[in-house]
């Protein structure tokens, strides 16, 4: 049974919010699921103050890194013990199939394990300056890490930033998305269960324009990790710039798979399944464009449409196991936006081989959609739909494919399908993107750095590389009285 009212977590206590409770809707039914406390600017200030106090007390940075890392890992262990409960509420909150929620929770657990274990291995360097000096660097936490989370993978994305933030001894203030806040409460409970000190983890839900804007503009945050749209990323970057606060920006994408003439279409179709229909396509790194060699185009379109038609679309709670199923989108507003983009694409000459319409039932459902005959310069080819909509574009040679792939404002990820490794690497190196998948969309893991080129953002999350964004380097140079050999 779902709790009816969910609070924020500030300074080690569950609290109400000054912006009043918000009704949280189950997008698969339109019913009110629960009420969430909403933070106002004063609550954000309280959370930042608590995090600041925690940081300045030295309790996190004085801990031996292996002990701090163990606490981070313990958060993950606690979450894994509550995974079924979290997955169920998550699915009711966001609409994705239950098996996808379980996968998201497992991904979050991996971040706590991975960064927990890594806490003890972050090291500075010593720099030779000749006999009269000893010089070395320390990697110090920024202090207060502010983190703004989107609604599409709210649990996993918050986990990746909290785990990296705590592993490097930062106190975290996490602004969770107002469309999907419920599961994040379990991150607060995990921090409590792991015995983290008050203020080390603060979980606060609020409206973007109110709580999010207050956090980004706050004078006493030291670092910002923002994941969301380009439009909001620009606002956050501008607000943090006024206080010279560095950012990691993980923004949107319009990523292309290049399917060469010798591609194994079985592999390609498996990648289409996950690439554009996972989470109803509401994935920043979704395969939203398939660029297909002209000689394989008809075969590809037929098989992609067959795949799309095979998916059973319905409430996520009915799908506990991986299979041919897809859940609802996050809201009717997002669904209607995606449907309108499809309708305009058809007016511009695209052909919906299948899908493109909302389902004739309650809930935020859109048919899995394959759009063929998409022009590379059309709106649908350039705009992030953030829905289960694959645009298919024909190409004739590698140069043309790369040119089309690189023709959007984004550069998040890309994919290349061919058994010819020389061709795969040559295409990969020419594609503009922070991560290129060869022969399997989403190949990688928590270990692999993730982030964008172009308007997809800057900085990297995931992998060892991400930790560099959570620490600042202090160089210490010692003048020695006696020259050392």
Could you give the residue numbers annotated as active site? 250, 284
Distances (CA, A) of 474 to 68, 123, 130: 21, 12, 20
Of 61-69, 195-203, 209-217, 299-307, which segment contacts ligand NAD by CB under 6 A?
209-217
| Local structure of residue 467 (DSSP, 8 states) | G
Q: Is 232 in the site for ligand NAD (CB under 6 A)?
A: yes
What CA–CA distance (Å, rounded) separates 143 from 168? 9
Q: Minimum distance between the CB of residue 370 and ligand NAD, rounded to whole angstroms?
A: 21
Of 31-39, 98-106, 247-255, 335-343, which segment contacts ligand NAD by CB under 6 A?
247-255
Q: Is 386 in the site for ligand NAD (CB under 6 A)?
A: yes
Q: Is 151 in the site for ligand NAD (CB under 6 A)?
A: yes
Region of 309 (left: φ > 0; alpha: ψ -120 to 50; beta: rest) is alpha
Of 4-12, 76-84, 206-214, 374-382, which segment contacts ligand NAD by CB under 6 A?
206-214
Q: Is 307 in the site for ligand NAD (CB under 6 A)?
A: no
Closest CA to 161 of 148, 151, 152: 148
3-state secondary structure 157-204: HHHHHHHHHHHCCCEEEEEECCCCCHHHHHHHHHHHHCCCCCCCEEEE
Local structure of 351: helix, strand or coil:
strand
**At 312, phi and psi to the nearest 5?**
-85, 120
Note whether 161 and 461 are within 8 A (CB).
yes
Tokens describing residue 8: 């924020």
What CA–CA distance (Å, rounded) separates 128 from 213? 45
Tokens describing residue 235: 């606002």
- The beta strand positions in 284-330, using DSSP E, are 287-293, 312-313, 325-326
Among residues 60, 191, 216, 350, which is the contact residue for ligand NAD, using CB under 6 A?
Answer: 216
Q: Minimum distance between the CB of residue 153 and ligand NAD, rounded to whole angstroms?
A: 6
Q: Minimum distance between the CB of residue 238 and ligand NAD, rounded to whole angstroms?
A: 10
Q: Is 111 in the site for ligand NAD (CB under 6 A)?
A: no
What CA–CA distance (Å, rounded) separates 412 from 433? 5
Of 23-31, 144-152, 341-349, 463-471, which segment contacts ligand NAD by CB under 6 A?
144-152
What CA–CA distance (Å, rounded) separates 15 from 24? 18
Tokens describing residue 96: 């994705």
Q: Minimum distance between the CB of residue 433 and ligand NAD, rounded to whole angstroms?
A: 11
Among residues 17, 27, 150, 454, which is the contact residue for ligand NAD, using CB under 6 A?
Answer: 150
Among residues 71, 235, 293, 394, which is the contact residue for ligand NAD, using CB under 6 A?
Answer: 235
What CA–CA distance (Å, rounded) separates 430 from 421? 14
Q: Is 455 in the site for ligand NAD (CB under 6 A)?
A: no
H-run or E-run covering 273:
helix 265-277
Q: Minimum distance between the CB of residue 146 and ligand NAD, rounded to whole angstroms?
A: 10
Q: Which is nearer to ligand NAD, 301 or 405 (by Cβ)?
A: 405
Q: Minimum distance between the CB of residue 214 and ligand NAD, rounded to whole angstroms?
A: 8
What CA–CA distance (Å, rounded) separates 174 from 193? 18
Q: Is 284 in the site for ligand NAD (CB under 6 A)?
A: yes
Among residues 198, 199, 228, 433, which is the contact residue for ligand NAD, using CB under 6 A?
Answer: 228
Q: Is 227 in the site for ligand NAD (CB under 6 A)?
A: yes
Q: Which is nearer to ligand NAD, 238 or 312 (by Cβ)?
A: 238
Q: How many residues comprise the chain?
A: 485
Q: Is 156 in the site for ligand NAD (CB under 6 A)?
A: no
Q: Minimum distance between the CB of residue 213 and ligand NAD, rounded to whole angstroms?
A: 4
What CA–CA distance (Å, rounded) separates 256 from 431? 9
Q: Is 116 in the site for ligand NAD (CB under 6 A)?
A: no
Q: Is 236 in the site for ligand NAD (CB under 6 A)?
A: yes
Q: Which residues bind ligand NAD (CB under 6 A)?
A: 148-152, 175, 177-178, 208-209, 212-213, 216, 227-229, 232, 235-236, 250-253, 284, 384, 386, 412
């Amino acid at each position: 049974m779902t709790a009816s009212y969910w609070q924020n977590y500030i300074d080690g206590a569950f609290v109400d919010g000054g912006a009043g409770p918000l009704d949280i809707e189950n997008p698969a039914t339109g019913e009110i699921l629960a009420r969430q406390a909403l933070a106002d600017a004063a609550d954000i200030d309280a959370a930042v103050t608590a995090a600041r106090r925690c940081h300045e007390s030295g309790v996190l940075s004085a801990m031996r890194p292996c002990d701090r890392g163990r606490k981070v890992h313990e958060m993950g262990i606690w979450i894994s013990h509550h995974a079924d409960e979290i997955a169920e509420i998550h699915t009711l909150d966001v609409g994705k199939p239950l098996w996808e929620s379980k996968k998201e929770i497992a991904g979050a657990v991996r971040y706590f394990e991975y960064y927990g274990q890594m806490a003890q291995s972050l090291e500075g360097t010593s720099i030779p300056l000749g006999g009269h000096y000893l010089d070395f660097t320390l990697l110090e936490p920024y202090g207060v890490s502010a983190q703004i989370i989107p609604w599409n993978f709210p649990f996993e994305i918050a986990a990746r930033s909290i785990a990296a933030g705590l592993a490097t001894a930062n106190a975290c203030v996490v602004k969770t998305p107002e469309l999907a806040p419920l599961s994040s409460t379990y991150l607060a409970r995990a921090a409590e269960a792991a015995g983290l000190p008050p203020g080390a983890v603060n979980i606060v839900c609020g409206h973007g324009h109110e709580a999010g804007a207050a956090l980004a503009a706050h004078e006493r945050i030291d670092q910002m990790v923002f994941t969301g749209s380009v439009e909001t990323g620009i606002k956050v970057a501008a607000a943090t710039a006024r206080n010279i606060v560095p950012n990691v920006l993980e923004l949107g994408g319009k990523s292309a798979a290049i399917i060469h003439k010798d591609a194994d279409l079985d592999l390609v179709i498996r990648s289409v399944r996950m690439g554009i229909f996972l989470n109803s396509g509401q994935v920043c790194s979704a395969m939203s464009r398939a660029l297909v060699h002209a000689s394989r185009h008809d075969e590809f379109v037929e098989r992609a449409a067959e795949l799309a038609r095979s998916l059973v679309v319905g409430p996520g709670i009915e799908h506990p196991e991986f299979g041919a199923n897809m859940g609802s989108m996050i809201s009717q507003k997002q669904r209607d936006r995606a449907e309108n983009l499809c309708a305009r694409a058809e007016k511009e000459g695209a052909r919906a081989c299948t899908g493109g319409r909302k389902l004739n039932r309650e809930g935020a459902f859109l048919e899995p959609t394959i759009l063929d005959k998409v022009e590379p310069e059309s709106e649908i080819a350039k705009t992030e739909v953030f829905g289960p909509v694959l645009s298919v574009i024909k190409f004739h040679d590698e140069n043309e494919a790369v040119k089309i792939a690189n023709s959007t404002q984004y550069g998040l990820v890309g994919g290349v399908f061919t058994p010819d490794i020389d061709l795969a690497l040559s295409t990969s190196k020419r594609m503009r993107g922070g991560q290129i998948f060869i022969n399997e969309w989403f190949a990688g893991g928590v270990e692999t750095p993730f982030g964008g080129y172009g308007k997809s953002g800057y900085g990297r999350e995931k992998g060892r590389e991400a930790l560099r964004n959570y620490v600042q380097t202090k160089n210490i140079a010692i003048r020695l009285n006696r020259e050392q050999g």
